[in-house]
Amino acid sequence: MTRAERLLRLLQLLRRYRHPVSGQILAEEIGVSIRTLYRDIASLQAQGATIEGEPGVGYVMKPGFVLPPMMFSSEELDALVLGMRWVADRCDKTLSAGALSTLAKVAAVLPTELRRELEESSLLVGAPLKRPAHKVSSDLLRAAVRAEQKLKITYVDGSGVHSQRVVWPFALVYFDQARVLMCWCELRADFRNFRSDRISDVERMEERSPKRRATLLREWRKVNDAASRRILPESDRVGH
């Protein structure tokens, strides 16, 4: 564990405790000597962390402190790089640009050692298989989800049957081969998933969804077991 990772781990531990915790407990959880623990606390205090306490009494940190510059463990950095590279490679232009911009902003505030690790990361995203064309912009679908706005869609199912639906969108799920719009469907009076490449036409309605998207997501989770939460892009319930 590098010193940067150790300081981050110490911050995370202190945030978990609302009451003073002894230095010995902190040292044991991090896996360092008590002397090293005292030096690390002093380092955090010098960087602006409001850590109150003393040896033999215990330590507690007041909320609101963020360690400057931004710090990540190796695993957190790997997850960030891989996730942003996947979005940049697999998603539409807007999200792709957002992912690359996020990586650039993170790199700009990382310490030299971690910035080099980010730039030299060997976690790569493989070439995608051929993806279907989309007639409807993902930007429009995401905007409707954020605004909790009803949509009027024309949907073509796997058998080529067209149907008109009014839906309350609450999530957009990304797969390598498809994007799935999760909705409450007024026609079926139930939850339905619609592949975005099978939506031939869409109209944003002025009317808002009667329920918040967070509420719809909670209700969807209640009626779906753990297996169905994987939201497969092809299922008996997609668009029917």
Give dist(CA 185, CA 103) in Å, integer: 37
Can you give the pLDDT at residue 186?
A: 97
Walking along the chain (240 residues) 10 residues at a time, the average pLDDT comes out as: 80 86 93 93 85 87 66 83 92 92 86 83 80 83 95 93 96 87 95 93 95 94 67 50
Distance CA 8, CA 96 (A): 29
What domains are there in the chain, each with its CATH number? 3-61 (1.10.10.10), 74-119 (no CATH), 138-230 (2.30.30)
Four-residue CA torsion sign, 69, 74, 80, 84: positive
Q: What is the pLDDT of residue 126?
A: 83
Question: Can you give the pLDDT at residue 230?
Answer: 57
The pTM of the full predicted model, rounded to 2 decimals, is 0.64
Q: What is the pLDDT of residue 66?
A: 60
Report the pLDDT value the prediction gives residue 213, as an integer from 0 to 100: 94
Mapped onto helix, strand or coil, the DSSP state of residue 226 is coil
236: Cβ–Cβ under 8 A, 6 or more apart, which residues?
A: none
